[in-house]
A = this chain, B = another copy of it.
């Protein structure tokens, strides 16, 4: 009798991949659904995609079709100007949603590049639209995710438009720390997945300035830096950098 065994194998496989069983569930999907709704959601995501370090999930001007929930790994999104200058517009980690920039014009407007080997859940956009018409909680959740992206970008605009170099980097580190914390990782020690140049691009600074400012924070006893490894030793100290006039 092979059938039951086979069935179980398939079962386990299905379970393993199911949203309903995903540890990141509450980050990319709504909570408090009924059983039948949960089953529908599991059907929404029928593809996972591995993305190797350096590869893109999508590129600017590519036809839009799906959103991507980050299952594991780390990404940057970048914009490129005609003259070649490019700018990092965000860093994204497990539980974040990628691709919402593509909805408006039906084509992507930035590049989403993996900074380490990663995995994304492919969410066909048409299917998401359909389901969010049926499931109120999904609709609500999706709208919140988009709205939060707008608010996040507001924050970056504030950072780029009004803060000095030290404030930008302090805000950046505190934000990263907070995001790692909310995912169950250490708030005080983490590895940067991006280069000084990418940090600089995101913060509107040159890589030398990023490096110098890391060194200064280290001298001040706020952090310990060893290349990509960061230990936050005095988060109050870092916070005090924000909004204090040059000293």
- Tell me the bound Cα distance from A204 to B160 in angstroms: 7
- Tell me the bound Cα distance from A135 to B85 in angstroms: 42
Contact check, B204 vs A151: say whether CB atoms are below 8 A apart.
no
A96-152 interface (Cβ within 8 A of B) = 100-105, 109-110, 129, 132-134, 136, 139-140, 143-151
Contact check, B151 vs A109: say whether CB atoms are below 8 A apart.
yes
Contact check, A157 vs B89: say whether CB atoms are below 8 A apart.
yes
Known: A89-B157, A133-B136, A153-B153. A143 touches B243 (CB 8 A): no
Contact check, B204 vs A81: say whether CB atoms are below 8 A apart.
no
Interface of A is mostly: helix
- A202 in the interface (beta carbon within 8 A): yes
Chain B residues near A81 (CB, 8 Å)? Answer: 158, 162, 243
Q: Min CB distance, A140 to chain B, in Å?
A: 7
Contact check, B85 vs A154: say whether CB atoms are below 8 A apart.
no
A-B pairs with beta carbons under 8 Å apart, 19 shown: A81-B158, A81-B243, A83-B243, A86-B162, A100-B146, A103-B144, A104-B150, A105-B147, A109-B154, A133-B139, A146-B146, A150-B150, A150-B153, A153-B153, A153-B156, A153-B157, A156-B157, A157-B157, A161-B202
